């Protein structure tokens, strides 16, 4: 991506972040938080489902720093692009470009190094990337079950509403929580969601298997 285009996208994102934060602050004063949140959300969901708030980017940057990261179902790729360019993260973004939504959105926004791969193919292609990032995986889609079962020592950083929310599928949450002997789940609720949504950060890792060997 050329320097002019990179600068333009970064400036655009910075404006959107400031607008989100300003409108959120004003809505507290006017006591119309949910109405304002829906208005902002409908304006920016073509970019990303998460709230475009500076605190969220700082949280992700801290979690992902010094890591080789694979982002799956990255949508427009704008979140990974912004983190890479503003916070020096190392995120490789993948998404399915055959989706009609992608074609519509990307007419105005194009990230050059956004690879056309479904999530399962991506994690199989890049086993060396030890952190997998997934932001709001589609509701009622089961592909995250395969991702979870195929971590192979990697960690999954997931932004979601958790079990019962409009993210992923019942099969995914059953796999995660009915196998408490297999997975370690850490939650970070410092995340800033849009009002009316309840997303937060989950860090999921496989528990290390003790093979029972003892060395004296």
125-141 pLDDT, tens digit per residue, is 999 999 999 999 988 88
Asked if residue 21 belongs to a domain, the reply is yes
Asked if residue 92 belongs to a domain, the reply is yes
Asked if residue 58 belongs to a domain, the reply is yes
- Asked if residue 48 has pLDDT above 90, the reply is no
55-70 pLDDT, tens digit per residue, is 999 999 999 999 999 9
Residue with the bigger pLDDT between 102 and 193: it is 193
pTM: 0.87
Q: How many domains does the chain have?
A: 1
Q: Report the chain's mean pLDDT, rounded to a whole number.
A: 84
Domain span at 34: 3-206
Query: What is the model's pLDDT at position 126?
Result: 97
Asked if residue 183 belongs to a domain, the reply is yes
Asked if residue 138 belongs to a domain, the reply is yes
SS3 26: helix
Q: E strands of 15-154, at which residues?
A: 68-72, 90-95, 115-116, 131-135
* Beta bridge pairs of residue 187: 202
127: CATH:
3.40.50
Asked if residue 91 belongs to a domain, the reply is yes
Asked if residue 216 belongs to a domain, the reply is no
Asked if residue 100 belongs to a domain, the reply is yes
């Amino acid at each position: 991506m050329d320097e002019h285009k990179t600068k333009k996208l970064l400036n655009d994102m910075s404006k959107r972040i400031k607008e989100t934060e300003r409108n959120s602050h004003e809505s507290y004063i006017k006591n119309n938080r949910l109405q304002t949140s829906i208005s902002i959300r409908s304006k920016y969901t073509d970019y990303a489902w998460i709230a475009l708030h500076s605190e969220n980017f700082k949280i992700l940057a801290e979690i992902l720093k010094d890591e080789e990261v694979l982002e799956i179902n990255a949508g427009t790729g704008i979140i990974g692009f912004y983190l890479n360019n503003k916070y020096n993260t190392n995120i490789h973004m993948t998404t399915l470009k055959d989706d009609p939504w992608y074609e519509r959105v990307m007419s105005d926004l194009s990230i050059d190094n956004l690879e056309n791969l479904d999530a399962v193919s991506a994690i199989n292609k890049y086993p060396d990337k030890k952190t997998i990032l997934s932001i709001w995986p589609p509701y009622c889609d089961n592909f995250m079950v395969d991702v979870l079962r195929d971590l192979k020592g990697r960690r999954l950083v997931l932004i979601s509403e958790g079990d019962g929310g409009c993210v992923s599928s019942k099969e995914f949450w059953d796999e995660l929580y009915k196998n408490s002997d297999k997975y370690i789940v850490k939650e970070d609720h410092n995340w800033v969601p849009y009002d009316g949504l309840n997303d937060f950060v989950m860090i999921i890792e496989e528990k290390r298997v003790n093979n029972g060997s003892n060395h004296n």
